[in-house]
Amino acid sequence: MLWGAEDTYDKREAGELLFDLADCKAPAIFELGETPPDSREENRPVQYKGGLLALTELGRALWACEEDFSRHNTIKRWWGGTELTNERLWRWDDESRSLIAP
């Protein structure tokens, strides 16, 4: 499960997030020993059930805060009533513990 995800996302949402991290131009994760993700929407929530996930090179750089996912991939999703795109990404500032507008 995603770190802290059990408190933030339900299984369907977590599955969609994992799918999006794997099925993109520059994936951040992949499932060991498996075929590429199945893009059919009904399979997304259970896509990684029981599988072992691993970070790609980009995923390791993201984890180390050395890279930005949006520099390598297209961002287009709705989150809390706000459309996020590469041009309109809100960011979290750890020091001020606040959101920074695009």
| DSSP code per residue over 2-68 | -TTHHHH--HHHHHHHHHHHHSSSS-SEEETT-PSPP--GGGGGGTTTTPPEEE-HHHHHHHTT---
Residue range 35-69, pLDDT digits in tens: 555 656 565 555 555 567 889 999 999 999 999 99
> What pLDDT is attached to residue 59?
94
Percent of the chain exceeding pLDDT 70 equals 72
All structural domains of the chain with their residue ranges: 5-74
- The two three-digit tokens of residue 39, written as one number: 């893009």
Q: Where residue 96 falls among pLDDT bands split at 50, 70, 90?
A: very high
> Is the pTM here over 0.85, yes or no?
no
